Amino acid sequence: MSNIKYPIDSPHSFSKEEISKELSTDFEKGLSESEVSERQNLFGKNNIEQKKKKHPVLIFLSQFASPMVYMLLVAAGLSFFFKEWLEGYAILLVILINALIGFFMEYQAERSMEALKKMTQVNAKVIRDSKLIEIPSSEIVPGDILFLEAGDMILADARIFNTSQAQADESALTGESMPVEKEEKNLEKDTSLAERVNMLYKGTFLTKGNVKALVSGTGMQTEFGKIASMVEAADQSVTPLEKKLQEFSKKLIMITIALVVIIFITGLLSGDKVLELLETSIALAVAAIPEGLAIVATLALAQGMMKMAKHNVLVKKLEAVETLGGTNIICTDKTGTLTQNIIEVSTIATGEGTMEIKLNPSARKMEIISKDNFSESKSFQLIKQIAVLCNTAELAINNNELKEVGDPLETGLLKFAYCNQIDIIPYRNQFPKIKEEPFSSETRIMATLHKADSKSFVAAKGAVEELIKCCSSILEKEEVKTFDEALKTKWKNDSEKFSAAGWRIIAMAYKDADESTTDLTSNLVFVGLTGMLDPLREEVFAAIQECKSAGIKVVMITGDHPATAKNIAMKLGLLESENEIVIHGKEMNDYENLSSEEKKRWTAAKVFARVSPKQKLDLVAVLQEDKSVVGMTGDGVNDAPALKKSDIGIAMGLRGTQVAQEVADMILKDDSFTSIVIAIKQGRIIFENIRKFVVFLLSCNISELLIVFVASVFNFHFSLFALQILYINLVTDVLPALALGVTEGSDSIMKQPPRNSNEPIIDRQRWKSIFVYSTVMAACTLGAALFAHSTMHTSKAWNPELCNNILFITLILCQLWHVLNMTTDNSKSFFKSDVFRNKYVWYATVICLVITIGAYFVPPVAKVLSLIPPSWQDLSIMFGFSLLSLVINQILKRTKIIL
């Protein structure tokens, strides 16, 4: 350890042996645990220093930077100017309390986002103590051996020492848009960054092939880290919802200013006192401002994201939560999303016949359940050999438990070999790999060249129709024969039958070769087929039916054979008739050449088979052109463009490549389709809750506006004071609005059609509802004061103080009961609605009532709010008229006059 030299200057100029010596690492064994621990202590974690978190003091100060606060400050300034000291200080106190509430909520939201970021951290595959293991990327140390495959993010700078047709996308670092071919050769010290073909750099990703590389730089010692230290991270942009709320608040302020000016001018012309007019104007200004609006919206989004995380959905962007509610098409992969991703070999077909088998990996046994048994034949031995050697996955045994690392299809093949008593690592050591042509979505074939004593051979596997094209011979009854067109057609037909029965079919082939062979996929000898089953997830059928009732179309996109795809789609209820079309990838023209009829055919189809990543991208474009909001699942590096293009990119957390996860809007930790449906449901609930509290806050505030406006226009001897309005806004607005933000949602939320993405938060129907709610509450509040005077206090002259108190308390009660009007499903009884069943609404109501009653018993507060103890008769009027507003609004809701 004492010989290690780090950091290394120009690692690309070192030979493999030199850099291995510099970093004191063994290429085969990697580092030991003790070496790793020592290097972590010396060189720290493999992290890029993030932009410093926003200091709590700055979070607090930012609460004052809003037009609404500026307007309140103007109101406070006017109060001080006219020597209304108490009112001025009270307004400042309210601004302070509001800022504290905002600070607490934003701080909580930031903590929630930090927790989500930790959940989305990626892992790296490294060789330590001769074993391939997965570790968190932050645990990588200089000298580690990285193993990377196509689709993996490169998580540290590393010198390549073993590569197989590898290409890397380094556009994020160099700006070069084309993938760079990677080689092992030595380079000159002055080679430019973009030309260092023997290096991998943090922040880029592998697009093809696989490599082994020695870590030469971690954390801030990487090229990415050096750039990051010079660049200040950009501020996060606001979400579309926040923009809508900001624009909405500005419009509200402009309307308020216009109202204030009208009342002020009207009052002056009527001969009213300037001071009284200013007080009324201040009261109007305060009444119009929904102080908690932006705060509650942000918290609702952040809390919604945390809630989704508990359901195995990691949402990376706030705006994705908004888009989820409007999604009307889900394009989903089959493997692992609709199925369990437990792929096992269940059928072997060779020239000897067809043998059905059942594997028991825990007991390491294979049971033959068919009449045919050719387990001792040469073809079966070759299939076992190809399953292990033409494979990049790993199968480790820890405490008698199998740990799978790699693609589920490949680990399924390894389990087949394992159950046939093949020890994976020793077997691979017996036939070392010389060369590899990795699987790609273009060729759909993988081939590897291996050394075996005095000769070498090629092992190949892939899609049936593609691999058969590469075969000129076939192994039948222990003999190699010519593979003519008639035989090829027979095997293709057999494959079709297996696929129609639901099996995933992989073809296998081999050929003898020498070490200098360059073309691994020509003149192969066809060996046979392996049929693999991946059981359907039990809960998916119900989830698809829920999507149908919610107006969401589910489209299955798979690389499988069309017959396999159709079989699965029928079982899941995606297709209801055998006559429904399955579009084959070979039928799909490029987007630029599509006719309108072809586009219509694409938009009508529910199943696409043998689809390439480019065709996925084209499909998204066609669906979006049809005004659909598209959610697209993906797991491979080539899926990244389609994920990015879609409205909601959904990456797989278990089998998804790191590149796919990087560009996606959300990640499914369990890869399950049901989780997508849960996320859409939560997205709908969150948006509906935001609507609820916006409607609630606005109707409460406009009711205050109407009361002040009516009292001013009709020259009543009583009205609400600015301080009372501020108190009401703090007590009866914020807490119930927060409670609405966590409503569970109605049972009918997934029986409604998707929301139009261009639909505003408050549409015309909701504006109508807001004004009706406000008018009813204002009328009942004013009615309580007028009724009390005309019935209970007829012998007395107008008592402005008493009438003011009746207005004040009645309005508080009206607004507290009003939260129960915010239910969205009017088909259910009042007592079974989602809001009525929300315990937080009742907590908020009780707290608000306690605070209101408590105000009478705290002399300074009672004095500031001009409170006087009410009589029992006055209390009964307050409660009666406040409940009357609830009854009237409920009748209007039930008769569908308002929402």
Tens of pLDDT, residue by residue over 586-612, are 888 888 888 999 999 999 999 998 887
Q: How confident is the model at residue 482 (pLDDT cuts 50, 70, 90)?
A: very high
Q: What tens digit of pLDDT does each residue of 302-338 get?
A: 777 778 888 888 887 767 777 888 899 999 988 778 8
- Across 546-550, 750-754, 811-815, least confident range: 750-754
- Across 26-30, 90-94, 585-589, 692-696, least confident range: 90-94
Q: How confident is the model at residue 798 (pLDDT cuts 50, 70, 90)?
A: low
- Residue 276 one-letter amino acid: E
Contact 78, 91 (CB under 8 A): no
φ/ψ of residue 737, rounded to 5: -65, -40
| Other residues' Cβ atoms within 10 Å of the Cβ of residue 5 | 12
Contact 720, 705 (CB under 8 A): no
The owner of tokens 């260092």 is 196
Residue 590's Cα: distance from chain center in Å? 29
Quote the pLDDT of residue 417. 94
pLDDT reading at 117 higher than 60: no
In the structure encoding, which two tokens stand for residue 834, read together?
């989602």
- The mean pLDDT of 620-649, rounded to a whole number, is 86
- Residue 730 one-letter amino acid: L
pTM, full prediction:
0.71
- The mean pLDDT of 357-361, rounded to a whole number, is 89
In the structure encoding, which two tokens stand for residue 542, read together?
């119900």
If you write DSSP's letter for every residue of 139-203 in order, what string do you get? G--TT-EEEEETTPBP-SEEEEEEEEEEEEE-HHHH---SPEE-------TT--GGG-TTEE-TT
φ/ψ of residue 397, rounded to 5: -115, 115
Quote the pLDDT of residue 232. 40
Q: How confident is the model at residue 490 (pLDDT cuts 50, 70, 90)?
A: very high
Minimal CA–CA distance to 394: which of 413, 380, 421? 413
Q: How confident is the model at residue 582 (pLDDT cuts 50, 70, 90)?
A: very high
Q: Which residues pair with 131 in a beta bridge?
A: 128
Q: CA quadruple 666, 669, 671, 673: dihedral positive or negative?
A: negative
- Across 360-364, 379-383, 881-885, least confident range: 360-364
8-state DSSP, 138? G
Residue 763 Cα distances to 590, 649, 683, 756, 769, angstroms = 39, 28, 19, 11, 10
Catalytic residues: 333
Quote the pLDDT of residue 290. 64
pLDDT reading at 240 higher than 70: no
If you write DSSP's letter for every residue of 64-119 in order, what string do you get? T-SHHHHHHHHHHHHHHHTT-HHHHHHHHHHHHHHHHHHHHHHHHHHHHHHHHHHH
Please report which helix (H) or strand (E) contains residue 133, including its range: strand 131-136
Quote the pLDDT of residue 1. 47
Contact 438, 164 (CB under 8 A): yes
Q: What percent of the chain has pLDDT over 70?
A: 88
Quote the pLDDT of residue 108. 65
Quote the pLDDT of residue 175. 59
What's the rounded Cα separation, in Å, for the pair 485 and 469?
10
What is the pairing mode between strands 365-368 and 630-634?
unpaired
3-state helix, strand, coil in the chain (%, to 5): 50, 20, 30
Q: Which residue has the higher pLDDT, 22 or 656?
A: 22
What's the rounded Cα separation, in Å, for the pair 756 and 326?
6
pLDDT reading at 119 higher than 60: no
Q: What percent of the chain has pLDDT over 90?
A: 33
What's the rounded Cα separation, in Å, for the pair 443 and 470?
11
Quote the pLDDT of residue 796. 58
Number of H helices, E strands in the chain: 30, 27
Q: How confident is the model at residue 554 (pLDDT cuts 50, 70, 90)?
A: very high
Contact 285, 708 (CB under 8 A): no
Minimal CA–CA distance to 284: which of 710, 585, 612? 710
Q: What tens digit of pLDDT does each residue of 402-459 get?
A: 788 777 889 899 999 999 999 998 999 999 999 999 888 778 899 999 998 888 999 9
pLDDT reading at 641 higher than 70: yes
Name, in order, each residue with C-beta under 8 angstroms of 747's C-beta and a sequence gap of 6 or more.
825, 828, 834
Highest mean pLDDT among 585-599, 746-760, 883-897: 883-897
pLDDT reading at 530 higher than 60: yes
- The mean pLDDT of 215-232, rounded to a whole number, is 75
What's the rounded Cα separation, in Å, for the pair 758 and 607?
28
Q: Which residue has the higher pLDDT, 658 or 775?
A: 775
φ/ψ of residue 262, rounded to 5: -60, -50
pLDDT reading at 120 higher than 60: no
Residues in the chain: 899
- Across 131-145, 343-357, 669-683, 707-721, least confident range: 707-721
Residue 309's Cα: distance from chain center in Å? 9
What's the rounded Cα separation, in Å, for the pair 517 and 510?
13
Q: Which residue has the higher pLDDT, 853 or 178?
A: 853
pLDDT reading at 492 higher than 90: yes
Residue 299 Cα distances to 321, 742, 790, angstroms = 12, 10, 46
Residue 668 Cα distances to 132, 310, 384, 393, 551, angstroms = 25, 11, 33, 22, 22
Question: Max Cα separation, the chain?
Answer: 120
φ/ψ of residue 667, rounded to 5: -125, 130
Quote the pLDDT of residue 806. 93
Q: How confident is the model at residue 242 (pLDDT cuts 50, 70, 90)?
A: low
The average confidence (pLDDT) of the chain is: 84
Minimal CA–CA distance to 252: which of 291, 217, 218? 291
In the structure encoding, which two tokens stand for residue 865, read together?
């709010």
pLDDT reading at 379 higher than 90: yes
Helix axes 800-818, 673-713, angle to 10 degrees: 160
Quote the pLDDT of residue 231. 42
Q: What is the dihedral of CA 324, 328, 334, 340, to 10 degrees?
A: 50
In the structure encoding, which two tokens stand for residue 491, read together?
């095997």
Contact 452, 444 (CB under 8 A): no
- The mean pLDDT of 101-130, rounded to a whole number, is 71
- Across 250-264, 745-759, 865-879, least confident range: 250-264
Q: Which residues pair with 339 in a beta bridge?
A: 536
Contact 323, 648 (CB under 8 A): yes
Quote the pLDDT of residue 563. 85
Quote the pLDDT of residue 844. 93
Residue 2's Cα: distance from chain center in Å? 46
pLDDT reading at 675 higher than 50: yes
Quote the pLDDT of residue 489. 95
Contact 344, 358 (CB under 8 A): no
Contact 369, 358 (CB under 8 A): yes
Residue 472's Cα: distance from chain center in Å? 48
8-state DSSP, 537? P
